[in-house]
Structure 1
Amino acid sequence: MAEASIAIEVVYATAERQWLLACEVPAGSSVSDALRLSGLVEQVPGLDLACCPVGIFGKVVSDPAARRVEAGDRLEVYRPLQVDPLEARKRRAAKARAAREG
């Protein structure tokens, strides 16, 4: 008897391009397994899933190896932050202060 499979989506985006992959994965697959089976890494040069946070419908998954996917899940691979948001705010405030003073 064939193993049951479920349909999911895997999404990833850069500034230049977006990927939306419809996939069939075995029922009971973990988020990590589903990402590996999706083929996203082969399509996105340089993508290291170990460094990227992952979410399902906008909610971050804390342990992708333990969390099981369900039919219809949308796995979202997030890019790592390039700059700490607090540091970026400090830089903008300093620039605005310098513009006001001189």
Structure 2
Amino acid sequence: MSFPLMRQLLLPKKAGPVTQVRHHAPIAGPPRFPMSPGKKLILGGGSLLVMMIIPFWALFQIPRWSKLHNGIVEEEKSAPAEEDPSSTKDEKN
């Protein structure tokens, strides 16, 4: 590009202090309005829940989901069979 054309297209420099004019809200940084502790907990804890806890839970559920998808019956964990308490009372007498 030629220098005369550049001089025509570029605005002339003005002497004096330079001021910055913002036409938009800042993107980074803390919010510009006060937040209650409850809002801070919801926003901070919610993002922590979404980013860390739910993925770990999903990773540990993969074996169960795999069994369900492949049609394998999942063995239910049951408590050991307890004897009838009335029979133990009879033996003591």
The answer to whether TM tops 0.5 is no
Query: If the TM-score is normalised by the length of the shorter chain, which range does it land in?
Result: under 0.3
Select the structure with the greater relative contact order (CA < 8 A; seq sep ≥ 6): 1
Larger radius of gyration: 2
- Larger strand proportion of the pair: 1
- Larger helix proportion of the pair: 2
